[in-house]
Structures are given as structure tokens and as C-alpha cells.
Structure 1
């Protein structure tokens, strides 16, 4: 889920930042430019921690800035298929619910909640109800799910989870099963 990642890139230092400590300037520019961005190979960059390497600056004709090849250490979030994760239900819809995992949300489609059919309650808005059991899911509930699909590209991160399976579902459902055994 979270990884310590080494990232290499070229950073442009504008002339108005000359004279300031180079490492601080590079950290500031890297954080502003890259934190919360998504890259297909690293996932979402959550935080840039430190600068490991800074090359001597290059000057490009027609640009007063210097360009430095840098390597920095970052924490990134990258979901993996079949990973079990816990989170909080943040939104319910007629087609399922979204749970917060890490720094993003994942979708649990109604067909992936349980072996019974779930639908929106006619009495309470924002509540999914199981047709046979009467079990409910509402925002704020804690759930455990397994990632069945995680797609990360340079623009977005799409994650689908299932709650079907042993040890998955709402925390209260899991506790009920434990007590029954």
C-alpha cells in the first residue's frame, strides 16, 4: 500500500530562487509540483521526505533558470490486486458504496458486498440494506475489503473492492461471525 520510493527527475530552479539554499529550494519545488500527483509506476506521491542527490546545474540558452537532475525519497501510495484493506464508508449510492483507503476512495459495487442483494433504504437516506438479512451499511461504518482491481495511470486511480469472503465485510459482521464460532 505505502512504499518508500526513490524518484529521479530534472528540477528547474528559477533565477529568483538563486542564493537560497539549493536543497531547500529543490524540496520546496518538488513538493509543490509532485505531492498528490499520480504516476503510473509509483502510484500517488503522498509526501517528499528528502533530497538524496543534486547534480550541478545546467543552463539552457534563452532561459535564465538552472536545471538540476535530482533524486529524492518519497512516500507513495500504490494499491495492489488481492490486497486486504480496511477503511471507512464515506458515501453510499444506489450502485454500492465508497470506502476511504489510505489517501483515496475505493468502490464496492452492490454485487460485491455480500451474497445477498443490497439496495438503498426507502426509509433512511444514505443507507444500504440487505434484502434477506436486513443488515445495513451507512457512512461512518468500518469495513474490511479485498482489492479486486486497481488501475493507476497518470491521471487517476480507480480501485474496486469486494467484501465477499471469509474475514471481509463490516467490522460488526466479522465480530458476529467470530462470536458464533
Structure 2
């Protein structure tokens, strides 16, 4: 789920940070620059592991800050395809089940990757697995918000996201009509992309909401206990007292 990525970057340390040790200042700046950021085709950056090497610091003309080329290792979240993770259901929609890991929310289980057959309940805003029973009936198993869920990573999607431009000034907004402003806002919203997404699946045995399998395991254990009780025979001894024998 987590990997170590070796990266190289030139780190700028502002003059107001010169009172710190160079390594400490560089650590703080690297984490400020990368923590909780997505690097294209690499993953979600979590925290700095260590600094491998530092080159000489230089001060460029017209800039009082120091610039240091740094080779470092960073902890990155990027689960391998096929790995099994456990998260919580964040929400449900017709697009599928949205799952969160607490620090990463962009996980989607599409309808085609849910247990079959499943349906979406508009009133409950939840997906339901129509679990088949032995008598041919079906038992509804709901995928409720907040439920722990186990899933398999089936695909990852990286998209290059770029800024949509600075916001308009008051004068520019006054010069445009309300309809034009609404159209611009709508187009800007559609341009916002998620830089890193995970597509997951639960359409196999043992995956899905954890409480489903807990209930089945409890039912199996109760069945075993009942079988053990059926194997116990009650007999009377010569004194008329009862004795249990297996």
C-alpha cells in the first residue's frame, strides 16, 4: 500500500529560515511542498522518510534565498493492482460505492464490480446486495455509510490537473451578465479533475461489507454447536440417575 520513492529536487530556503539547521529547514520545506500532494504517475505523498544526499547550497543573483539540490526518499501511497484493502463507505450514488481510507477518499466501486445482483435504493441512497437464500428467496444486505468494507484494487487512474485560472476581479464580474457568469462558473467546475483515483471491486467471496461475513460465520458456528448437541445422548444408569454420553 505504501512505497518509498526516491526523488530529487532543488529546495529553496528563505532567509528567515537561516537560523535553523540546514537539514531541518530542508525537511520542513520538503514536507510543506509535497505532503498530501499527488505526483503524476507516482501516488499520494505522505511524509518524508530520509534525506539521501545534499549538494552545495547556492544563492542566485537577485535572490537572497539559498538553493540546494537534494536527493531524498518519500513515503507514497500507491497500492498495487490486485491488493486487498479495508476502508469505510463514504457515500453511495448511482455511480457506485464511494470508499474512504481516512486519508484518501477517491476510491470508487462501480456497479459492475459490486456483488451480483445488486440494486440502488434511491430513498436510502444505498446499494443493496440481493443475497440469494436456499429456498429461492432473497435477503437484502445494505451497504450503509460508515460500514467497514473490504475491497480489491482493480485499477488506478492518474489525470494531470492544471489551474483553471485566477478568479475574476469585481470590475470584470460587473461587466459580464449573470448568465455569462453562471456559464463560466459551471465550465470551471467541470474542468476540475481528480489527480489520482482508485477503482475497486468487491464481486468475489470474502469481499464487501465486513458485517456480512461476520453474520455468516456466526451462523456457521451456531450450526456446529447445534450439531454437537444433537450428538449427545441421554441415558439412565441403574440408580435411575441420568448420565450424558457422547
TM-score by length of 2: 0.65
RMSD: 2.2
Residues 116, 129 of structure 2: 8 Å contact kept: no
Residues 77, 103 of structure 1: 8 Å contact kept: no
Partner of 2:78: 78
Q: How many residues align?
A: 179
Partner of 2:119: 118
Q: Which moved more, 1:86-95 or 1:29-38?
A: 86-95
Partner of 1:134: 140
Q: Which moved more, 1:127-136 or 1:11-20?
A: 127-136
- Based on CA coordinates, which of the two structures has the bigger radius of gyration? 2
Quote the Cα distance in structure 2 between the aligned partners of 1:101 and 1:147.
13
Residues 48, 75 of structure 1: 8 Å contact kept: yes
Deviation at 1:154, TM superposition (A): 5.0
Quote the Cα distance in structure 2 between the aligned partners of 1:154 and 1:20.
35
- Tell me: higher relative CO, structure 1 or 2? Use CA pairs within 8 A at least 6 residues apart: 1
Matched, 1:171 2:170: no
Residues 112, 163 of structure 1: 8 Å contact kept: yes
Matched, 1:60 2:60: yes
Residues 119, 130 of structure 1: 8 Å contact kept: no
Quote the Cα distance in structure 2 between the aligned partners of 1:163 and 1:127.
15
Deviation at 1:66, TM superposition (A): 1.6
TM-score by length of 1: 0.86
Q: CA 1:154–1:78 in structure 2 vs 1: closer, same or farther (change >3 Å)?
A: farther
Deviation at 1:107, TM superposition (A): 0.5
Quote the Cα distance in structure 2 between the aligned partners of 1:169 and 1:98.
13
Mapping for residues 1-181 of structure 1, pairs under 5 Å: 1-101=1-101, 103-105=103-105, 106-122=107-123, 125-131=124-130, 132-153=138-159, 155=161, 156-178=195-217, 180=220
Structure 1 residues without counterparts, runs of 5 or longer: none
Residues 118, 127 of structure 2: 8 Å contact kept: no
Quote the Cα distance in structure 1 between the aligned partners of 2:158 and 2:220.
39
